[in-house]
Amino acid sequence: MATPALPLARGRNTGRPRASMSAIERSRRRLFWPMLLPALILMALFYLIPIIYAGWLSLNEWDGINEMTFIGADNYVRLAKDPVFIGSVINTLKILFIVGIVTFVFAFALTMILRDMMGKKFVRSVLFFPTLINAMVFGIFAGFLFSPSGPVNKLLLLVGVQDPPKWLAQDNLFNMIMIVMIWSATGYFTTIIMSAVDQIPAYYYEAAGLDGAGPWAKFRHVTLPLAWDVISVCAVLWTMSSVKVFELILVFGGSTAKAPPTSTWSTALYVYQAAFGTGGDREFGISAASAIVSLLLVTVLTIGLRRMLRRENIEI
Amino acid sequence: MNHVITQPPLPTEHAKASLPPSKPARRRSSRKDRISPGGYVGRTVVWLLVAFNLFLLVWMAVTSLRDTRDIVRDPLGVPAVPYWENFANAWNTGGFGTAAINSVIATLVSSLLVVAISAPAAYVLAKSTRKISSSFTLLFVLGLGVPGQVLLVPVYIMMAKFQDISHLQMLNSVQGLIIVLVGLGIPFTVFLLAGFFRSLPVEIEEAAAIDGSSGLRTFVQIVLPLARSGLVTAFMLAVITGWNETLFSLVLLTTSENRTLPIALLAFLDQAQFNGADWGGLFAGIVMVVTPVLALFIWLGRRIVEGMTVGISK
Amino acid sequence: MTHIKPWLKVATGAILATSVAFTASGCTTTDAPSGDGEKSMTYWSMWTETEPQAEVLKTSLAAFEKDTGVKVSVQWQGRKVLDKVTAGLLSGDVPDLVDQAYDALGTALVKTNQLEDMAPVLKEEIPGEDGKTVGDVIPAKYIDNLPTYDGDVKNYMVPYTISNVSVFYNKANKVAPKAPKTWDELLANCKKAVEADMACIASDGDATWANSYWFDYLLNRNGGDGAFKKLVEDKTGASWDDPAVMETAKQIQNLVDSGYIIKGYDASKYPEQQNAWAANKALYYLMGSWAPAETEKYAAEGFDYGAFNFPTTSESSTTADDVISFGFAVPKAGKHTAEAKQFIAYFANKDRMGEISTVADNLSARPDVEAPAQLADVATILADNPSRLPNDGVSGDITDKGFNATFEQLWLGKLTAEEYVKEAKSAMVAYWNAKG
């Protein structure tokens, strides 16, 4: 997947020249399997086997109770024809690209603003905090704050807005979800980008300043190129997490005890609803097929993004 | 947002390598620029954002102490007298008491186990020169990219099957959830800890080896204490992930006596059908979900932030 | 051999750690506590422990234990109980008794033939009622019209709570105290309400499941019984060309265009506007008969809950009303099905089932139990009219993934009636097409 650029594979100690195998090396070799095996077994049990099993399930029709029947690629054909599934893929892509890009722009803006601001550590902490909270909480808050007679509209009325936006209308619901995501993710990415920017030596900026560069030029010619690798890693991180978005949508769009409107579903919601949704049919096969599609999605997107964001592809 | 947590602090060395070695950045002293008008706007926006975030926390706390009727009438009001009954109701009758205990057990036990299992693996992967170890490292990295929903149905069915064979309660049990949390947490924890172990100086181990201590003893007595801060960070992050886990808990845990807090919160929302919403109780529940994380963050915030971010930008 | 291999130490350590952890979490097995020949049963409930309905059941379960010696273990699962039952089927952990609404049971368990036939239970005598049987006291119409979901068993549930869907209003209102009988009367009242600066109809835009009651009822009045089912189950889409469908869509569009639906409904989350209705901000609310219980806390001073049957649109309209029954069912996989059935008959006793009305303020399935004051009108509607099922018994994917999304557009005023019929037709054809 993300193989080529992951530096991890090269242990730092490999560079160390060693004439012969030392005692410590030998004892380490002896310990290699016993120490690795428990984690490896869990990895097999909770990642490898389930993925293979999901692949197998996706070729079957099964309600979890009666006999499983092999139906080949039929589930995938059904998914391709299902407007709800297509919609959930589109929503996932919206989360990835729209939320991703806006979050990054905000994160950079914040980084620039915070750089020489008083109390930046405090600000950063406050903005970072939402990352740590179960997103469900924000779903509940949003439903409350943005309801037609809720606090936000009341405040707007105070400043003279008679006809406030219909925040929670079905058409806006997904946009609202995206806004909440941007809000809660910005702090996290700001923190990462800030620590990358902090590594940039000051004299780069001084030199740029002497050449008459304004803030934008400094950003464009110093910050961006020097932080580029971090940005591209962040992009991969965001790809991985955007495909997982679940809790926020589950609670945000949903009426009590009912599934959220299909127009807000992400692929994670679709997988859950197909297999465990309320009042629906228990379709493990369809669920597994949609899960496999989301796995392919994340793989293709990650590889694609890494290609696209490669340094040599960017003219800096 | 627990999905963000399951992310690796990728130590991209390019970023660092591409910079000339230099003294630590001290740019502020040398750049006493005046703040541009745009800067003022930006700062105002930032402080507004900060104020909003803080307001949310305060509002949550205040609302949890208000009567449901009052909340609906005026969502922004302040109670004349704190209405502590919300917490009593949520804790006892709302099932949040049991859920809180379950959440604490599931989170602590699974976090301990995942660190205990990941640490040795991360150590050998970080230090081994075997060719195969880089393939294994890659395997764990790839695991990080697998969305939870891919594993949901298979893991669920496997747990059911295992329960059938072993007669150990796996579905609808805290112990089942613990196992799942441990299994799912392995890639991230191994990944995080491998980074820490890699940064430890080799010389100390070598000295230990010369002293004749065995590999295992070196690991337990010398490496682990040295890596303590890394272990604590890994543990904290596992705790936060476990505390917020919803997708698998929702499917695995069913009865009220086995629920964790996020699931209790969802069940509380469901109850609004037929018997009306109890917003006061709901906010009390939210406070219970948020407060421990908030406390951890205030106490060990730097470490949590670093665990989640610093590796990336190094 | 004294030398212990290091990996063995690690393995022992890991096992130890795991076992310590498990002891800490109180390792439990699936083996039920054996009662040594004692009779027992398990019940998974749709209620959570503190709800009034749970209190009622607790009382009866305790009495049942005392009277029969059957030990009952209860799990108060809450509304998603059937998800847990289907999950349990996978692992062999199944209760002997469950309860839920017929449609929830239908999609989860009836379709796959997982429930026992309750016909024999209907013939059981009720303890303490001089030979009266369960079937004598629970009206057949609550049982006979249950859809079978293509399963083999017809009587898979014994109802104990009856809900219906009717139009709720505040009898103490000044604007239009008289309940309308026809659609035109309802529209006339709506006009009055709007003139009195009050909305006519409360609705939460996101609760499409509830808003579609309007369409379903209107289509029933316009097109007769079974019209909805025929419409959404028609794979060719031809039924959408029926003039009754267009008429229904136009009636909905009229409600929207006339501004009769409460302001802000298109941006609200259930139960926001439901509460607004209880605060006298709207005249009517078409909802299940749980509406009074849900809104009681928010109701305006002096609010007097009343209800009327959904109006007729023409002389020939039916007056059928939506009945949603909740009741007990017995999974075949349970180990103590006999005891479970015994309890069903036991609970059917007037005093016990009556508490559903007197304690939990719901309508019990026995018409001879007096209805709670808030639901007195509902009880009359139920007694006086033939019963039908909401959406003609169609539920699950067909509505959630097929019908609802387009209807939502009509209800929210984004589509005209003509556009709606056209789009809904193609959406349903696409739905069936994807179903394969």
Q: Do C51 and B271 touch (CB under 8 A)?
A: yes
**Same domain membership, residue B239 and residue B260:** yes
Token reading at C399: 């509505």
Closest partner residue to B7 (CB to CB) among A43, A122, A237 is A237
**Which of B13, B48, B83 lies at the terminal end of a domain, its last residue?**
B83
Rounded-to-integer distance, Cα C427 and Cα C436, Å: 14
Of the partner residues C408, C434, C435, the one whose CB lies closest to the CB of residue A170 = C408
CB A273 within 8 A of CB A259: yes
| Same domain as C340, residue C316 | no
CA distance A195 to chain C (A): 37
Domain-located, residue A209: yes
Give me the total of CB pairs closer than 8 Å, taking one residue from chain B and one from chain C: 120
CB contact set of C204 (below 8 Å; sequence gap of 6+): A255, C210, C211, C265, C268, C269, C270, C271, C272, C273, C274
- Do C110 and C77 fall within a single domain? yes
Residue C76's H or E segment, with its range, is: strand C71-76
Kind and range of the H or E run holding C283: strand C282-288
ipTM: 0.86
Residue B1 falls within a domain, yes or no? no
- What would the pLDDT profile of B24-33 be if each residue is shown by its tens digit? 444 444 444 5
CA-based nearest residue to C330, from C311, C344, C312, C349: C344
Chain C hits for B215, CB-CB cut-off 8 Å, are 6
Best B14, B146, B190, B251 residue to mutate vs chain A (most A CBs within 10 Å) = B146
Average pLDDT, rounded, for chain A:
84
- For residues C206 and C243, membership in a common domain is answered with yes
Give the closest of A33, A35, A280 to C397, CB-based: A280
Closest CA to C166 of C398, C348, C380, C428: C380
Q: Which residues of B are less than 8 Å from A30 in CB distance?
A: 215
Write the CATH number for C50: 3.40.190.10
**Residues of the domain holding A307:** 84-313
How many domains, chain A? 1
Q: Do residues B234 and B293 share a domain?
A: yes
CB contact under 8 A, B160 and C91: yes
Regarding whether C214 and C108 lie in a shared domain, the answer is no
> What is the residue type of B51?
A
Q: Closest partner residue to B215 among A12, A24, A45, by Cβ?
A: A24
Q: How many domains, in total, are found in chain B?
A: 2
Could you tell me which residues come within 8 angstroms of residue B2 by beta carbon, excluding any fewer than 6 positions away? A134, A135, A247, B240, B241, B244, B245, B246
Closest residue of chain A to C103, computed from CA coordinates: A279
Structure-block tokens of residue B16: 């660092």
The answer to whether the CB atoms of C52 and B275 lie below 8 A apart is yes
Q: Which of B83, B112, B142 is the last residue of a domain?
A: B83
Chains with 3+ CB–CB pairs under 8 A to A are: B, C
Closest CA to B33 of A129, A116, A149: A116
Instruction: Give the pLDDT band of residue B1 (cuts 50, 70, 90).
Output: very low
Flag whether pLDDT at B14 surpasses 60.
Answer: no
Please tell me the predicted confidence (pLDDT) of residue C128.
92
In a domain? residue C7: no
Chain centroid to CA A295: how far?
13
Note whether C380 and C416 are same-domain residues.
no
Per residue in B125-174, pLDDT (tens digit) is: 988 878 888 899 999 989 988 999 999 999 999 998 888 888 888 888 99
Instruction: Please indicate, yes or no, if residue A203 is contained in any of the structural domains.
Output: yes
Shared domain for B306 and B228, answered yes or no, is: yes
Token pair, residue C350, equals 């007037």
B109 to chain C, closest Cα gap in Å: 6
Look up the domain containing C265 and give its range: 164-322+392-435
What is the spatial distance between Cα A173 and Cα C206, in angstroms, rounded to a whole number? 10
- Domain presence at residue C25: no
B109 — contact with chain C (CB < 8 Å)? Answer: yes
Is C27 among the domain residues? no
Instruction: Report if residue A155 sits inside a domain.
Output: yes
Which residues on chain C are in Cβ contact (under 8 Å) with B254?
77, 80, 83-84, 87
Q: Is residue B164 part of a domain?
A: yes
Are B70 and B154 in a shared domain? no
pLDDT tens figures, A75-114: 999 999 998 999 999 999 999 999 999 999 999 889 888 8
In this structure, the answer to whether residues C131 and C274 fall within a common structural domain is no
Chains that touch C (3 or more CB pairs under 8 A): A, B
Asked if the bond preceding C6 is cis, omega within 30° of 0, the reply is no
- From the list B109, B116, B164, the residue facing C25 with the nearest CB is B109
For chains A and C, count residue pairs whose Cβ atoms are closer than 8 Å: 121
Residues B166 and B72 in one domain: no
Cross-chain Cβ contact A276/B251 below 8 Å: yes
Q: Give the closest-approach CA distance of A159 to chain B in angstroms.
A: 16
> Mind telling me how many Å the CA of C316 is from chain B's nearest CA?
34
Q: Answer yes or no: do B73 and B106 share one domain.
A: no
User: C13 in a domain, yes or no?
Assistant: no
Q: Judge whether A150 lies within some domain.
A: yes
Burial class (CB in 10 A: 0-12, 13-18, 19+), B41: exposed
CATH number at residue A143: 1.10.3720.10
Same domain, residue pair C214 and C338: no
Q: Are residues B234 and B277 in the same domain?
A: yes
Same domain, C122 and C216: no
Interface test with B, best of C46, C91, C270 (most B CBs within 10 A): C91
Q: How far is B91 from chain A (nearest CA, A)?
A: 18
- Let me know whether C129 and C224 are in one domain: no
Nearest CA in chain C to A260: C206
Q: Do C9 and B178 touch (CB under 8 A)?
A: no
Residues near A291 by Cβ (< 8 Å), separated by ≥ 6?
A: A54, A58, A271, B147, B149, B150, B151, B152, B153
User: What is the C-alpha to C-alpha distance for residues A66 and B246, in angstroms, rounded to an integer?
Assistant: 28
The amino acid sitting at C426 is: S
**Which residues does chain C have with pLDDT short of 50?**
1-2, 24-25, 34-35
Strand partners, A60: A70
Are B119 and B226 members of one domain? yes
Residue of C nearest to A280 (CA): C396
CA-based nearest residue in chain B for residue A274? B153
Q: Would you say residue A48 lies in a domain? A: no
Residue B127, in any domain of the structure: yes
Of the candidates C29, C80, C91, which has its C-beta nearest B270's C-beta?
Answer: C80
Q: Name the minimum distance, in Å, from the CA of C21 to any CA of chain B.
A: 6
Total domain count, chain C = 2
* Low-confidence stretches of chain A (pLDDT beneath 50): 1-19, 316
pTM confidence score = 0.82
Q: State which H helix or E strand residue A156 sits in.
A: helix A151-158
Note whether A81 contacts C433, CB cutoff 8 Å.
Answer: yes
Q: Quick check: B221 contacting C, CB < 8 Å?
A: no
Count of positions (residues) in chain A: 316
Q: Which chains touch B (3 or more CB pairs under 8 A)?
A: A, C
- Residues of C in Cβ contact (< 8 Å) with B173: 28
Domain boundary among B54, B83, B112: B83
Is C400 contained in some domain? Answer: yes
Domain co-membership, B237 together with B155: yes
pLDDT in tens, B62-89: 999 998 888 877 878 888 888 898 899 8
In a domain, A188, yes or no: yes
Q: Searching chain B, which residue's CA lies closest to the CA of residue C8?
A: B216
Query: Do B69 and B102 share a domain, yes or no?
Result: no
In this structure, is residue B31 part of a structural domain?
Answer: no
Chain A residue with CA closest to C7: the answer is: A34
Q: How many pairs of residues across A and B have Cβ atoms under 8 Å apart?
A: 381
Distance from CA of B47 to the nearest CA of C (A): 29
Q: Is residue A36 part of a domain?
A: no
From B192's Cα to the closest Cα of chain A, the distance in A is: 11
* Cβ partners under 8 Å of residue C256, min gap 6: C410, C411, C412, C413
Q: Are residues C124 and C70 in the same domain?
A: yes
C372 min Cα distance to partner chain B (Å): 15
Q: Which residues of chain B make contact with C290, given a CB cutoff of 8 A?
A: 273-274
| Secondary structure E strands in chain B | none
**C98 lies in a domain?**
yes
- Residues of B within 8 A of A1 (CB-CB) are 141-142, 145
The answer for B 39-78 residues in CB contact with C (under 8 A) is: 68-69, 72
Do B73 and B148 belong to one domain? no
Structural domain boundaries, residue B187? 96-313
Query: Is residue B221 domain-shared with residue B129, that is, in the same domain?
Result: yes
